Amino acid sequence: MTSSSDPQRLDRADARLRRRYRAERLFQASGVAAIAFAVGTLFLLLGTVVYQGTGAFVESVAVLPVALDAGALDPDGDRSPESLARGNYASPVREALRARFPEASGRREKRALAGLLSVGAEYDLRDFVLAHPEAIGTTVERPLLLSDDADLYVRGDVDVDVDESDRKVSDAQVAWLDALVARGQVERRFNRRLFTSGDSREPELAGLQGAIRGSFLTLLVTLLLSFPIGVAAALYLEEFAPRNRLTDFVEVNINNLAAVPSIVFGLLGLAVLLNFLGLPRSAPLVGGIVLALMTLPTVIIAGRAALSAVPPSIREAALGVGASHVQAVLHHVLPQALPGILTGTIIGMARALGETAPLLMIGMIAFIVDLPTSPTDPATVLPVQIYLWSDAPERAFQARMGAAIIVLLGFLVVMNGAAVALRRRFESRY
Amino acid sequence: MKTKMQTDGLDVFYGEKQALFGVDLQIGANEVTALIGPSGCGKSTYLRCLNRMNDVVPGCRVSGRVTLDGEDVYDPRLDVVKLRARVGMVFQKPNPFPKSIYENVAYGPRIHGITHDRDELDALVRDSLRRAGLLEEVEDRLNEPGTSLSGGQQQRLCIARAIAVSPEVILMDEPCSALDPIATARVEELIDELRAQFTIVIVTHSMQQAARVSQRTAFFHLGRIVEEGETTKIFTNPDQERTQDYITGRFG
Amino acid sequence: MIEALWGLLPLLAGLGFVLGRRRAEQLAAEGDVSLNSLPQHYGQFVLLWAAGPPLALLLLWALSGGTIVEGWAAASLDASGLLGVDQRADHVLSEVRGGLSSLDGAALSEAHAHVERTLDRARQVLGLSVAAGFALLAAGGLSWARSRVTPGLRARNRVESALRAGLFLSSCVAIATTIGIVGSLLFEAIRFFGLVSPAEFFFGTEWSPQTALRADQVGSSGAFGAVPVFAGTLLITGIAMAISIPVGLMAAIQLAFYAGDRARAWVKPLLEVIAGIPTVVWGAFAALVLGPRIRVIGESLGLDVASESALAAGLVMGVMIVPFVSSLSDDALNAVPRSMLEGSLAMGATLSETIRKVMVPAALPGIVGAFLLAVSRAIGETMIVVMAAGQAARLTANPFEAVTTVTVQIMMLLVGDQEFDSAKTLAAFALGLTLFFVTLALNLAALSFVRRFREQYD
């Protein structure tokens, strides 16, 4: 029976063994390649986002002397805020630029010159004058916000070798901008507007405040609904439910809901919440309800896992000193399970924060400039803002989109980090 | 006695913890060597050093010398795949693969390329099953899953699977601990029959089993060999008091 | 007015609690009988009766108040005779709701004004009756419950029963959600199939819903054949699976059998990050980075690639699903007893032989379950395809062309659309119903695979 004495056979076995080891190496290499591919794509995505998005955190301004003419800025002449608010701020801004480049002549050239600045320059000037009415009548150096195209040129994102008709910045504008830069009259500074203003048609004025508020209000509604209902359902199923077909049915339902495509929840929101119950469109209230229904299975499943991880001895000890079943659960089991439930809830919330499709279905896609203040105001949310900006034709919106993605991912990192920290802190208790 | 395998000064560490301390033991060819001792004494660890199954345990470190026919088993040039084809193993709990009875036995010959055609493989599978005393019971259901057999049959299937690659040594790690007495008797008989062709090392908890099936016995305690020798001598007239105590059931 | 009632609820609850507890304490102080429960339980008992029924009333109003008010207005409008021949009450209502002011003709504005008047009146009348009901329920509940507070009342048991009932109702929200989904999808889909025959929808090969602007044109145009939409979904899902199944499975194998603890500690969280990145971000990546790049590469190879190609969407979706496949496969592989691994290694099999011939076959039901769940996830994925795949329904197997999917069409048909009875919007619900049942079937199949697998080794 022993065959190792047969030399020919031994040779064959060696050749075979070499083949087998080659297969082994190949197999392992393909495993490494698989992971490298997935992780590589992730880094490509993150790299692209950071590369595209960081630009939007900086804005460009031209610092020019602006003559604050009392006649234009204060029509009533009483320096009252009402009068100042009605002032004409476009002309001082325009004049400041013309004073710097007096050579610009003719309607077209003048318009091109004015095109260097954003309308935001006027708003900023108005804010300044309202805060400093005493400056009227003097000439002050003010930062004037550049338009999105001028900003792109200043940061070097415009290829001047392209034919003039194929780019947004004309040769004359290039010359003016170069002159401003050469004299140190262009400043780059942190773009606070990105975090303080709402959406806008002008990329350089568009901000995330509206979307962040919308996301916050939506998640607030989601949390207020899904956490109590989820915890209650988890408590019932884990602690009180009798083993019967109704309970089984509830469990099957929860597991299936966890895997229903999110867009279907959007259809539910549209058909039931908007059309049947007549709740307001585009409102965080409706978005929050839809996301709560979507998040509920996550909270329930996490809650049950946390509850079942509480050792039965704790429950038995409570029952042993005469507590009722309800008291044992509420006083002893639930507090023990709470960190686990919270972890699951935070993870569910993080997922809800990134959700887009169902919110588009209930109309949270509208272009909304006003900042929402209550859950029934029309609003949009961060991921929808990303979607909207990704679709915008102006190139500068792509950088805004990148910045929005960075902000969204930042929130997600914070939330998931909190969940991980919570889990670490409490997991080694038993 | 012709020595088949031998260990000299074998130390084994699991991370910081030392499991075996300088174990010297000779395993005679075509004999059954029984390793006995209380739980955690290192007998299973020792067994797993003989075909380097400890390699797959993370943090396990082996020093000392293990030889098979005078060849160092832990020589880096030695191929562990080849070694395991020569030193087969049967585990505590029957672990048939989730495949048919036939495929379970054919698995080893297939991966090692022992047979050349289907007829040869069929013959080898049937022969292995016959030698494991299982053929009659499963002849007409070779394509049923191995897991459909009873526990004792599963363990004999695992023995058939091991002998199908014609190993020289078979290591058995408490092969009967999961079986009922009748199945145990059947496997013990089988071990006795297999001794003619294979060298067998068996770890067992049962003193009676060691006495019944083995020719030599080594008594392990706290990672050391307390005593080893002819089974009859160990069980009737041990040199060491500890061996005496263990065999008579005073501890362990 | 109703909002103020919501504000009253906590006060009412507090009042009930205090009154109930004080009554119980009085009873305990007066007689020498001992209370059945602690005073606070009596407080809770009264609280539930004082605040519970009014809360139920308010919830009922919140859910159905709008419908009732509008129904009233519609009925009144129908009866008023102010409607023109081609006018419908619900249209006028939705115009009023939308705040439309561009009205021409006296009859029109008459109708609208009537609706606005009736709406106001209905709100007033109904709001008043709700307030009255609220007061009645609150006072009645409070006094009744307070009168029931006697030493013999098993207040704790009552409160606990109520609590259990509340917990039970919470767990029923899941059922209600499912019923809501199935109900609304079925209801709208049935209306759709009244306009377009199911045979045409499921087997027709022409899809151009945008041309069918009015319901009465649909039957003749034959534009609701969903086969190209299904085919596009299949194509993109196929591409995604061609990426995610091998990559996910190999990654799981690598993590389960080859990687050291250090590597695992790094790679696993990174894979989780992939799963945690919102799909809209993946979609932006596919549409703005990968799509154009694939097009450039394809053109340099002489291929005709659409910038919104099935390939870009499928590829990115595939990567997104990798962690899903890998973690489920990892679970399945780890559930196979280690004795299998050792048994095979002890036979002299190499690790890869052991994995391919023993471990993967042993874990196969679990792995197949993972694949099915991944398919279900890919079919239901929306944002990546909305942003990176096309909108034109095309019957093609060419991954370089733009195709459309079920989810994209649902989105396109419904987003921004206010009208709710054209075949165009209803078609979205028919697609949604199909999507729901396909993913449901896949999930149930996956679950049964996984369950069978678990039973094998438990």
Confidence (pLDDT) at A427 = 65
Place A264 in a pLDDT band, splitting at 50, 70 and 90: very high
C246 contacts A34? CB cut-off 8 A? yes
CA separation, residue A92 to residues A65, A173, A326, B27, C200 (Å): 10, 20, 73, 103, 66
Between the two ends of chain B, the Cα-to-Cα distance in Å is: 30
Confidence (pLDDT) at C147 = 79
CA-to-CA distance for A123 and B131, rounded, in angstroms?
Answer: 95
SS3 B52: coil
In chain B, the residue whose alpha carbon lies closest to the alpha carbon of A20 is: B111
C160-173 average pLDDT score: 88
B97 contacts C340? CB cut-off 8 A? yes
Place A11 in a pLDDT band, splitting at 50, 70 and 90: low
Enumerate the residues of chain C whose CB falls inside 8 A of the CB of residue A275. Answer: 420
Q: In whole numbers, what is the pLDDT of chain C averaged over residues? A: 83
A392-407 average pLDDT score: 89
In chain C, the residue whose alpha carbon lies closest to the alpha carbon of A290 is: C177
Asked whether B135 and B129 are in contact (CB, 8 A), the reply is: yes
B37 at interface of C, judged by CB pairs closer than 8 A? no
Enumerate the residues of chain B whose CB falls inside 8 A of the CB of residue C342. Answer: 53, 56, 89, 91, 95
C422-446 average pLDDT score: 90
Enumerate the residues of chain B whose CB falls inside 8 A of the CB of residue A17. Answer: 79, 81-82
CB neighbour list of residue C256: distance below 8 Å, 6 or more residues apart: C330, C333, C334
Q: Is residue B5 scored above 90 in pLDDT?
A: yes
CA A393 to centroid of chain Cα atoms: 20
pLDDT, tens digit (0-9, with 9 covering 90-100), for A65-87: 988 888 888 888 888 888 888 88
CA C150 to centroid of chain Cα atoms: 47
Distance from CA of B88 to the nearest CA of C (A): 6
A382-387 average pLDDT score: 93
Give the residue from B56, B99, B168, B177 with the most C CB atoms within 10 Å of its CB, the best one to mutate.
B56
A22-27 average pLDDT score: 94
CA-to-CA distance for C267 and C254, rounded, in angstroms?
Answer: 10
Pick the range with the lowest mean pLDDT from C61-65, C72-76, C77-81.
Answer: C77-81
The domains of chain A are located at 62-190, 209-426
pLDDT, tens digit (0-9, with 9 covering 90-100), for C235-260: 999 999 999 999 999 999 999 999 88
- In 3D space, the residue among C195, C408, C162 whose CA is nearest the CA of residue C283 turns out to be C408
In chain C, the residue whose alpha carbon lies closest to the alpha carbon of B158 is: C343
Confidence (pLDDT) at C103 = 46
pLDDT, tens digit (0-9, with 9 covering 90-100), for B42-75: 899 999 999 998 887 888 899 999 999 988 999 8
Q: Is residue C86 scored above 70 in pLDDT?
A: no
Q: In whole numbers, what is the pLDDT of chain B averaged over residues? A: 90
Confidence (pLDDT) at C223 = 75
Indicate the residue type of A264: V
pLDDT, tens digit (0-9, with 9 covering 90-100), for A97-152: 888 888 888 888 888 888 888 888 888 888 888 888 888 888 888 899 999 888 88
Confidence (pLDDT) at C421 = 64
Full strand arrangement of the beta sheet holding A186-190: A139-145, A58-67, A186-190
Q: Is residue C75 scored above 90 in pLDDT?
A: no
Question: Which of C174, C383, C386 is opposite residue A254, by nearest beta carbon?
Answer: C174
In chain A, the residue whose alpha carbon lies closest to the alpha carbon of C281 is: A405
A285 at interface of C, judged by CB pairs closer than 8 A? no
C443 contacts A267? CB cut-off 8 A? no
Distance from CA of C355 to the nearest CA of B (A): 12
C169-186 average pLDDT score: 91
C166 contacts A416? CB cut-off 8 A? no
Burial C219-241 (b: 16+ CB within 10 A, else e): eeeebbbbbbbbbbbbbbbbbbb
Place C219 in a pLDDT band, splitting at 50, 70 and 90: very low
Asked whether B199 and B27 are in contact (CB, 8 A), the reply is: yes
- In 3D space, the residue among A130, A144, A179, A4 whose CA is nearest the CA of residue A61 turns out to be A144
Confidence (pLDDT) at C26 = 79
Confidence (pLDDT) at C251 = 96
B142-147 average pLDDT score: 91
A41 against C121, higher pLDDT: A41
Q: Is residue C180 scored above 80 in pLDDT?
A: yes
Query: What ipTM was estimated for this complex?
Result: 0.89
Q: Is residue C294 scored above 70 in pLDDT?
A: yes
Enumerate the residues of chain A whose CB falls inside 8 A of the CB of residue B114. Answer: 3
C290-318 average pLDDT score: 86
Q: What is the DSSP letter of B63?
A: E
C348 at interface of A, judged by CB pairs closer than 8 A? no
pLDDT, tens digit (0-9, with 9 covering 90-100), for C314-343: 999 999 999 999 999 999 999 999 899 999
Confidence (pLDDT) at A312 = 83
Place C210 in a pLDDT band, splitting at 50, 70 and 90: low
Distance from CA of C337 to the nearest CA of B (A): 9
Confidence (pLDDT) at C420 = 59
SS3 A102: coil
Per DSSP (E only), the strands in chain B are: 3-14, 17-28, 32-36, 60-68, 71-72, 87-90, 169-173, 199-203, 216-221, 224-230
CATH of domain A209-426: 1.10.3720.10
Confidence (pLDDT) at C20 = 78
Confidence (pLDDT) at C108 = 55
Q: Is residue B244 scored above 80 in pLDDT?
A: yes
Question: Which of A2, A16, A20 is opposite residue B166, by nearest beta carbon?
Answer: A2
HEC string for C15-72: HHHHHHHHHHHHHHHHCCCCCCCCHHHHHHHHHHHHHHHHHHHHHHHHHHHHHHHHHH
Give the residue from A260, A295, A389 with the most C CB atoms within 10 Å of its CB, the best one to mutate.
A260
C445 at interface of A, judged by CB pairs closer than 8 A? no
Chains in contact with C, where contact requires at least 3 CB pairs less than 8 Å apart = A, B
Give the residue from C167, C245, C375, C417 with the most A CB atoms within 10 Å of its CB, the best one to mutate.
C167
* Residues 290 through 329 of chain C touching chain A, CB cutoff 8 Å: 319, 322-323, 326
Give the residue from C339, C345, C347, C356 with the most B CB atoms within 10 Å of its CB, the best one to mutate.
C347
Share of chain C above pLDDT 70, in %: 88
C61 at interface of A, judged by CB pairs closer than 8 A? no
C1-17 average pLDDT score: 81
A2 contacts B168? CB cut-off 8 A? yes
C260 at interface of A, judged by CB pairs closer than 8 A? no
Interface A-B: count of C-beta contacts within 8 A: 18
B99 contacts C361? CB cut-off 8 A? yes
B166 contacts A3? CB cut-off 8 A? yes
Asked whether A121 and A144 are in contact (CB, 8 A), the reply is: yes
B161-180 average pLDDT score: 91
CA-to-CA distance for A237 and A257, rounded, in angstroms?
Answer: 16
CA-to-CA distance for A72 and A88, rounded, in angstroms?
Answer: 5
pLDDT, tens digit (0-9, with 9 covering 90-100), for C368-403: 999 999 999 999 999 999 998 877 777 777 788 888
Interface B-C: count of C-beta contacts within 8 A: 68
Confidence (pLDDT) at C109 = 63
CA-to-CA distance for C274 and A35, rounded, in angstroms?
Answer: 12
* Residues 341 through 370 of chain C touching chain B, CB cutoff 8 Å: 341-350, 353, 357-358, 361-362
Place C98 in a pLDDT band, splitting at 50, 70 and 90: low
B93 contacts C348? CB cut-off 8 A? no
* Residues 320 through 379 of chain A touching chain C, CB cutoff 8 Å: 324-326, 350-351, 353-357, 360-361, 363, 365
